[in-house]
Amino acid sequence: MLTNSATASRSLAPPRRPIYPESVLLLGVVLAAGVTPTRVRPWIDVLGTPVAAMELGFIALVGVMWGSALLRRRRQGARRNWTPIAFSALFVYAAASLLIWSDASGPDVPAMAYTLLIAAAVMWCAFYTVNALEATGVPVLLSYLTMLVAAIAGLYAAESFLQLGLRSEANSGVDPLFGLHRLRGPLFGSSIGGFVLLPALAYAVQQLVGGRQRIRHGVAAAVLFVAIFAMGSRSALLAVGVFVLLSVFALRGRARLAFIAVLAAVGISAALIVFSRASTERIASLEDERRAITYATAGRALLEAPLYANLTGLGYAAYWRWYLPDADGTSAFGWEDYMQSRPAGLVLYHPHSTPLLLVLELGLPGLMTLIVLAGAISRARRQAAAAGGPLLLLNGIAGSGVVAITDLLIFKSPFANLVWWTYLFGAFALCRATRNRPTGV
């Protein structure tokens, strides 16, 4: 009788959360990228192109994961997702344009080709990691990833407020318009941090609204809110605004009230902490002369190009060859090195806008890939709203698109992209699990 009772208790006990090696590897990569100073990372020369050894190791890791995923797919069957397929096709198209009709030449060609390789590796690593998990493993991965991102952001915030001496002298200056050391670190810079932090914040708030692990996710949400304000980034604050609006209009009843209560309590407290020392002058100002020059030049390039060139794009790296300036550090040394001359005028060394690169350099294929991504997020939001899926997380991902509009991502900043892709594919997996679960569960 005791044996039968023990057996019944074991059968009714919640299943143990399995440990997935892919998840551990991904979290380890994010941790290493978040705390290892850029200045101490070794570089290797590959065909005349300086490459960070950490990124080369990451590409090798993705190769191992790819082989494991192929074997697993034969056993379990493939899970189709058109987003990574569409972006893989775009990366191949970009490589072809770089070699055939782009104006890039010399060492810029292998350097910019490498950016496509690492961009594809990052995306597929996130996809295979999420794809390897069972339905119960996805929220576990996203929860641990959120805690890790919050911890890294907390470290950066401590450096910004307390000046712990973790930064190099070149990055230690106080922003005169912000009155504080703008939050940034090896994982993300001040201008792109919202791309990483907003999906993490959205997931933490989603767990809070759902009443799951409130203390853990409440602390994470508070730290992430402080970090977003401490970046002094206008695009990040605008992205938070989009996230809030999407969520308020999508939620109903008690969920809406809970969301507003959480955002008000955590957001107002974080704002008071940051702006008790920082100035709002930078955030209130919308002037950015160099971005305005770049956007005007890109507009002239589109108007002056023939129709076929607008359809095919001018070619990857035709206007923005940013990898070598980043690798040798010249992008940090002032106006002359930061701005570059192109047929239509001066531009920043990278476009500071992902859609701008897609449209000008990659033409119709770039625009169609952007539409595929936007459509996938929109469909997932509708499914989540109808079936009780990760709606807030998807709203945060949609809001983070504001940061991509005002800065270059997907192709640049690989480890920040790794975090974002993981949240995106994780949200898709949660929607799929919600849609496929039995009625009454």
The answer to whether residue 10 sits within a structural domain is no
Nearest CA-CA partner of 421 in 170, 92, 54, 62 = 62
* CA separation for the pair 344, 121 (Å, rounded): 33
Could you read off the pLDDT of 346-389 as tens digits, one per residue?
A: 999 999 999 999 999 999 999 999 999 999 999 999 999 888 88
Residue 29 lies in a domain: yes
Q: Is 375 part of any domain? A: yes
Maximum pairwise Cα distance, the chain: 86
Q: What is the pLDDT of residue 435?
A: 67
**Calpha distance 180→267 (Å, rounded):** 19
Examine residue 199 and state whether it is found in any structural domain, yes or no.
yes
* Residue 359, in any domain of the structure: yes
State the total domains in the chain: 1
Quick one: which H or E segment has residue 91?
Answer: helix 82-100
Q: Which residues of the chain have a pLDDT value below 70?
A: 1-19, 66-80, 165-173, 175-177, 284, 286, 329-337, 435-441
What 3-state class would DSSP assign to 383? helix
Structure tokens at 24: 């551990």
Report the candidate in 402, 387, 425 with the shortest Cα–Cα distance to residue 355: 402
Which residue's structure tokens are 């009625």?
439
Q: Give the span between the Cα atoms of 360 and 101, in whole angstroms.
A: 13
Tell me what pLDDT residue 22 has.
77
State the pLDDT at residue 204: 93
Q: 197 — phi, psi (to 5°)?
A: -75, -35
- Among 153, 175, 169, CA closest to 225: 153
Q: Is residue 344 situated within a structural domain?
A: no
Nearest to 188 by CA among 227, 130, 234: 227
Report d(CA 69, CA 291) in Å as an integer.
Answer: 42
What domain range includes position 283? 18-288+351-436
Query: Per the domain annotation, does 385 fall within a domain?
Result: yes
pLDDT in tens, 304-321: 999 999 999 999 999 999
pLDDT at 55: 85
Residue 209 maps to a domain: yes
Coil, strand or helix: which one is 247? Answer: helix
Specify the pLDDT at position 330: 57
pTM: 0.90
